[in-house]
Amino acid sequence: MWRSKAPRGADAGCAFLCSPDGASVDLLTSTELRDLLAQQHVILSKRFGQNFLIDRASLAGIASHLPAGESIVFIEIGAGALALTGTLASRGKRVVAFEIDDRLRKVHDVLLVRDPLNARIDMRYEDGLNANWTSLVNPDETPILVGNLPYLRSTDTVLKLVQTGRICRAYLMFQREFADRLTARPGRHEYGSLSVVLQTFFAVERLMDLPPDVFFPRPDVHSALLGLDRHPAGLADEETTSFLRFVHGAFLHRRKKLADFFRRTGVPLTGDFAAVSELRPEALSPTDFVDLFHSVSPARNHT
Ligand code: SAM
């Protein structure tokens, strides 16, 4: 049977700026996690992608990439068994942690009851992708998004992040193949509309690869941690939605030349657009897409 042992993080003795290896956080082993879940009668759900981090070295690796500071508010999507939440609490002013599965509340109550940092953890049992992230922080705070979400919600996460201008940094874990798409460069077969959209708004860095056995239960897939830093997109705020639609439309038939997309959207195939209409969408960089978006906008019948 799992029993609460030393207070989580009690050995840290650090209010902020813990050692970057995150060693102060008491991560559950697979046996402790299994026992705690059994004790609380929680059966993990595949639908919610409940594969929890159990590897201390991986947690230390993740922690080493995370910033720390008194103005930082971490917004965590998918707290699970709080593997990352304690580390985030030790590195920022507070954590707003979303968990969609209300059954985990009982598990959290056990884990948080003796945690000296629990006053900094604001648990919310709701869909973190439906939340208004901007409203969670005050003007003088720095929001940082952190999450490890199921594959099915990865696209929603990226699109919401891009459209939430208040969030300038994020650390997100994705299935490896999805991370490959987000980091792909023009010309690569993984390069697509999501690569263009994310890289238009963010500098994307692949920070770590995580094999299946660092999670419990062991998933069938590998994961990768990406670090995202917002950079100027060259678009006005009010252009964002039509830019996303534009890029999506251009990649709808990715094997066809852009002439096909131009015909569908009323862009002339003559003049300045003649040469580019001969290219496939995957040949254009994110900056090329922004330039094309601006130059075709006045020439199109509709957006
Ligand atoms: N962060 C923990 C870790 O690394 O061990 C848990 C990761 S687990 C892969 C994903 C967690 O996200 C699960 O606990 C799941 O219930 C939760 N989840 C899935 N979709 C969610 C959503 N839309 N909003 C909030 N939580 C979600």
**CATH number for 129:** 3.40.50.150
Smallest CA separation from ligand 1 atom 8, residue: 50
CA distance 121 to 81: 13
Phi, psi of 105 (to 5 degrees): -55, -40
Cβ of 98 closer than 6 Å to ligand 1, yes or no, is yes
Predicted local confidence at residue 15, as pLDDT: 36
Compute CA 127 distance to the chain's CA centroid, rounded to the nearest angstrom: 14
Q: Let me know whether 200 and 142 are in one domain.
A: yes
Sign (positive or negative) of CA dihedral 63, 65, 69, 73: negative
Predicted local confidence at residue 300, as pLDDT: 58
DSSP β-ladder status, 202-210 and 223-230: antiparallel
Predicted local confidence at residue 296, as pLDDT: 86
Reported as a single tens digit per residue, the pLDDT across 94-133 is 999 999 999 999 999 999 987 888 999 999 999 999 999 9
Q: Coil, helix or strand for 83?
A: coil
Best substitution site from 29, 30, 52 to test ligand 1's pocket, by max atoms within 8 Å of Cβ?
52
Q: Coil, helix or strand for 248?
A: helix
Q: Let me know whether 55 and 185 are in one domain.
A: yes
Predicted local confidence at residue 156, as pLDDT: 96
Predicted local confidence at residue 4, as pLDDT: 46
Asked if 121 and 95 touch (Cβ cutoff 8 Å), the reply is yes
Best substitution site from 26, 44, 50 to test ligand 1's pocket, by max atoms within 8 Å of Cβ?
50
Predicted local confidence at residue 7, as pLDDT: 39
Q: In the listed set 173, 202, 230, which residue is the last one of a domain according to the structure?
A: 230
Q: Let me know whether 183 and 261 are in one domain.
A: no
Q: In the listed set 230, 258, 293, which residue is the last one of a domain according to the structure?
A: 230
**Cα–Cα nearest to 66, from 93, 97, 91, 98:** 91
Q: Is 121 exposed, middle or buried (0-12, 13-18, 19+ CB in 10 A)?
A: buried
| Within a domain: 1 | no
| Within a domain: 147 | yes
Q: Let me know whether 217 and 285 are in one domain.
A: no
| Within a domain: 240 | no
**Cα–Cα nearest to 78, from 167, 182, 152:** 152
Cβ of 78 closer than 6 Å to ligand 1, yes or no, is yes
Q: Let me know whether 20 and 155 are in one domain.
A: yes
Best substitution site from 48, 75, 146 to test ligand 1's pocket, by max atoms within 8 Å of Cβ?
48
Cβ of 154 closer than 6 Å to ligand 1, yes or no, is no
Predicted local confidence at residue 299, as pLDDT: 58
Q: How far is the CA of 218 from the centre of ligand 1 (A)?
A: 15
Q: Let me know whether 206 and 100 are in one domain.
A: yes
Smallest CA separation from ligand 1 atom 20, residue: 48
Q: Let me know whether 21 and 112 are in one domain.
A: yes
Q: In which residue ranges of the chain is pLDDT below 50?
A: 1-25, 301-303
CA atoms within 13 A on the CB side of 95: 27
| Within a domain: 160 | yes
Query: Domain containing 288: what range?
Result: 250-301
